[in-house]
Structure 1
Amino acid sequence: MSIDKTPPHIRLDERNHVEKPFLGQLAGLGWKIIDLTDVKQTPAHTGRESFTEVILPAELRRQLRVINPWMEEDQVEEAVKQLTASFPSTNLLENNRHVFHLLLENTSVSENRKTGEKSPTVRFVDFNQRDNNSFVAVCQFKIRVLGTEHHIVPDIVLFVNGLPVVVVECKSPKVHDAIPEAIDQLMRYSEQRGAKGEGSAPLFYYNQFIVATCRQQAKFGTITTRTEKYFYRWADPYPRTVNDLSHGAGSPNDQQRLVAGMLDRDNLLDLIRTFTLFSVNDKGETIKIVGRYQQFRAVKLAVRRLLEGETPRERSGIIWHTQGSGKSLTMMFMVREMYRHATLSHWKVVFVTDRT
């Protein structure tokens, strides 16, 4: 287990110039902040019984009751077990995909005992009513490495209904190659560097994307993104504009843009439900993809035209892409977004491509 040998003044710089602004911006977006910096942690600080737990179990149970008010205590426990104790394998990607499908496709229990309905749907996330969900950011979330006495402490972990959907690694702007170093740290935490016993893969079973930031630069990827080349900026905080962000004489930094664009609570739910998918790349490898800012903005604006336009001309338009910027993914995301709306869900969509 490696020990953090970062000089104290660099750690302080990371704290004051990266972590604190990140948490402050999240608080402004409606997130509950639990800052455990300089706290002698116990599991109880985050409602856990042990540091081996990677979810916030009390939060999950509470929100299950909010979203599914008909559930009784034994049914809540049954649903919790489906998310925490029933994984298809020990493989990180397979288990991540399993959890993703549960979040989107839901689960069921035998009966709604109040109405008699058989096999009623149990939802872990309410994608239609944001305020039925909880959004908690924990700074310095301590987790025990299984089979050892060691712990990892990710800088910031973001929980939706008690599930750790985003992990953020912060680095001081003074660190050389700050973003590559943060990415390497995230790979260590998720045990993807080839060594066992240096991280907590179960934390990443629930992960939807990861973030590496040093404030001026901030990039996101997924558990299958292992090099900086495929980590991307989030340049446009749509539906906000850059002028909506608090900044000095210069432009907002990358971190401000990413937090406003990806971690706005409504946007985050949309990214999970509509703009995330698993695909097979040219090498035959399964990868997890989260849409980029230009795809998110284009789809949202195009669907708004379809919903609000009163004439064919007002409903039509062109989305222009550069080569390699994800045209096919934009089309897929747009169909998904259309099918969320009752007035568009019956439309037949035709894809015309120039590929053989």
Structure 2
Amino acid sequence: MSGHHIPDTREEAAAKLPALHILTVLGWDYLSPAQCMALRGSERAVVLEDVLREHLTRHRFDHKGKTYPLSPAGIAQVMREVTQTGLSQGLIPANRAIYQHLTMGITVTEFVDGQRASITVPLINWADINANRFQVTEELSVERPAGMGRFRPDIVCYVNGIPLVVIEAKRPISSTKPTAMVEEGISQHLRNQMGDGIQDLYVYSQLLLSISGVDGRYGTTDTKKKFWSSWREEDIPEAEMAQIKGTPLSAAHRTAIFADRPRWALEAFDRLHGSHVLVTDQDRLLVSLMRPDRLLDFTRRFFL
């Protein structure tokens, strides 16, 4: 954690650490806040440009029966389109434009054997899930406009360097009032989307979650509070949910996630997961919407 911000340890234990656990089991690679900041370059930047550039470098396009890599100029065109958000037109039009880029790709000009060609470049490989890079980080410090300080969403999930999911994780104040804390997380999302918030992040987001350890709701950019919904899963059996919940952290993720946390945090986590733990609605929401293939399918076909 950065020295100037200590997360609420109760939120950590109740909601955030269990969420990071589930996400890494689902296939998300953990990035520490320091690693993420190094990739971002500054608190104003939210795209992991080197990660996106690496994805674009691997892309090949077909032209007259032959396959070619993107040129440096073609990659630069894509990067420019992705990072010039158009927020001056408002958050919703800008978010819609990013959605079009994500689902339809970005058309660039390439010169192949001296001939000009228009090439549509996908930001996400929809056909091969494993060709994409899924990364999760926490405490993403994003600078607000006009020196107004920073907001720090609890968890942000990146696909190919683009922040597609923002999660607020709140502690349940008691076992009888988890809904109140979920609503607090929703309120934070709505605050963050205001003009004096961190629209630079939310212009990219396609899925927003508010979780409280035992409960969770989902929405998307500009979803009003009353329309945030619970998820009722029909295809993934409860036994599979329990298997995911019961899968221990990998050694690498365990080391990375707890590297900057006090020893007692790891011991408390181990105690909690050393015995049979019941699946919560938070777990169900994360497994249902955050499994990489599910997230891409929902992003492409169902988010408006």
TM-score by length of 1: 0.67
Kept after mapping to 2: 8 A contact 1:60/1:161 = yes
- Alignment counterpart, residue 262 of structure 1, candidates 266, 272, 289: 289
Kept after mapping to 1: 8 A contact 2:37/2:43 = no
Kept after mapping to 2: 8 A contact 1:112/1:120 = no
Residue correspondence of structure 1 range 220-299 to structure 2 within 5 A: 220-227=218-225, 229-236=226-233, 238=235, 240-246=236-242, 252-277=279-304
Separation in structure 2 between the aligned mates of residue 115 and residue 133 of structure 1, nearest angstrom: 31
Residue correspondence of structure 1 range 41-52 to structure 2 within 5 A: 41=34, 45-52=37-44
Kept after mapping to 1: 8 A contact 2:170/2:181 = yes
Number of positions where the alignment pairs a residue of Structure 1 with one of Structure 2: 259
Give the structure with the larger strand fraction. Answer: 2
Shift of 1:237: 6.7
Kept after mapping to 2: 8 A contact 1:87/1:95 = yes
Q: 1:120 to 1:112 in 2, by over 3 A?
A: farther
Q: Could you give the per-residue CA deviations for residues 106-146 of structure 1, whole angstroms, max 9, x where no partner exists?
A: 12211253795710111111111111111111111111112
Shift of 1:150: 1.1
Separation in structure 2 between the aligned mates of residue 131 and residue 112 of structure 1, nearest angstrom: 29
Structure 2 residue aligned with 1:185: 188
Q: Could you give the per-residue CA deviations for residues 233-259 of structure 1, whole angstroms, max 9, x where no partner exists?
A: 123173x31111236778521111111
Give the structure with the larger helix fraction. Answer: 2
Separation in structure 1 between the aligned mates of residue 116 and residue 297 of structure 2, nearest angstrom: 30
Identity %: 25
Separation in structure 2 between the aligned mates of residue 171 and residue 86 of structure 1, nearest angstrom: 30
Shift of 1:66: 2.1
One-letter code of the match for 1:13?
A: R
Q: 1:86 to 1:143 in 2, by over 3 A?
A: closer
Shift of 1:45: 3.4
2:56 corresponds to 1:64: yes
Provide structure 2 residue ranges, at least 5 long, that are not aligned to the other structure. Answer: 61-67, 246-274
Separation in structure 1 between the aligned mates of residue 231 and residue 114 of structure 2, nearest angstrom: 46
Q: Could you give the per-residue CA deviations for residues 31-66 of structure 1, whole angstroms, max 9, x where no partner exists?
A: 111233xxxx5x863412211001111111111122
Separation in structure 1 between the aligned mates of residue 155 and residue 111 of structure 2, nearest angstrom: 37
Structure 2 residue aligned with 1:339: none
Bigger relative contact order, structure 1 or 2 (CA pairs below 8 A, ≥6 apart): 2
TM-score by length of 2: 0.78
Q: Rg bigger for which structure? A: 1
Alpha-carbon RMSD: 2.5
Structure 1 residue aligned with 2:75: 76
Structure 1 residue aligned with 2:109: 110
Provide structure 1 residue ranges, at least 5 long, that are not aligned to the other structure. Answer: 278-356
Q: 1:56 to 1:124 in 2, by over 3 A?
A: same
